[in-house]
Structure 1
Amino acid sequence: MIHWDLPDVHQIEVVVAPESIDVLGHVNNTEYLRYMEKIAWQHTQVLGLGWDEYQRLNRCMVARRTEVDYLAPAFEGEKLLIGTWIVDNDQRISITRRYQIVRESDGVTLLRGRTKWVCVALDSGKPRRMPPEFLTGYRPTAQESV
């Protein structure tokens, strides 16, 4: 039984590949960031905001700040469940997305993280207000307890 930190998780499965292992014999820290980016983009597409929509709107979301707590190691061949939630949308230029990575075999949480994403114009890279499609598509999917 997997215990997710928040309800209504959006999740994907990843099997740790040999090339993800570092000299210490476990998953390299940068791989976790790749997993987080992978699920963020996949979730964005599920929300109806894929690359075509980004181009049409001349807007995209870019990572501004990421915080990661590495809690336990993962090893080659293990199946990991990566979960994400949008927990805040300031209705202007930014959203906050949370992540949790869990080892399927024993339910141990390996990582907790969060990223603040900022809306920018594709043609200039400068921060811009979110269009209505982003305000709707990037609605919070879970509420953090206070």
Structure 2
Amino acid sequence: MSESISQVSMRVRGYHLDGYGHVNNARYLEFMEEGRWAFFDEHPRLIKQLHKAGRAFVVVNLNIDYRAAALQGDDLRVLTGIVDVGERSAICHHRIVREDGTLVAQADLTFVLLDMQANKAAAIEGEVREVLLGLVVSKEAFAA
């Protein structure tokens, strides 16, 4: 697997479950957010460039495909990486996989960079763009 893909392991706990005994759909958002935080921890240069440029990531769209139920006690891996960088937005891909290799959920999250001073979306340019482009991986790399 590419070093540009971060991986977080987690165990499904009782408080993650809904009344049907499987992980509540909203909890997957939290699992993916944990994956993004890990991604940023593993790529400190990206955060440094964002702060230097006065920018922050802002989520503008999220599409999730739920593929299999996760149950209490399941060990999951949350994989996170950047799969596309455009002029004004980029796409972060998440894949949640059970220990046995079953794909539980996957998502594409579109984000823009917020100019913190102007409080509006900004072009992805300069050193921030260079760093992001250096992290891009294909979705196929998640299955490797």
TM-score (norm 2): 0.83
Identity, % of aligned positions? 26
Which residue matches 2:55? 59
Aligned counterpart, 2:111: 117
Q: In the alignment, which residue of structure 2 is the partner of 1:39?
A: 35
Residue 131 of structure 2 is aligned with which of 133, 137, 143?
A: 137
| Equivalent in the alignment of 1:87 | 83
SS at match of 1:138: helix
Query: What is the identity, as a one-letter code, of the residue corresponding to 2:97?
Result: V
Which of structure 1's runs of 4+ aligned residues deviate more than 6 A?
none
Quote how far apart the aligned CAs of 1:71 are.
0.6
Structure-1-length-normalised TM-score: 0.82
The gaps in structure 2 that reach 5 residues or longer are: none
Distance 2:123 2:6 in 1: 26
Counterpart check, 1:72 vs 2:68? yes
Q: Aligned-pair RMSD on alpha carbons? A: 1.9
Distance in 1 separating the partners of 2:139 and 2:97: 19
8 Å CA contact retained: 2:93, 2:139: no
Deviation at 1:131, TM superposition (A): 4.5
Stretches of structure 1 that go unaligned for 5 or more consecutive residues are 1-6
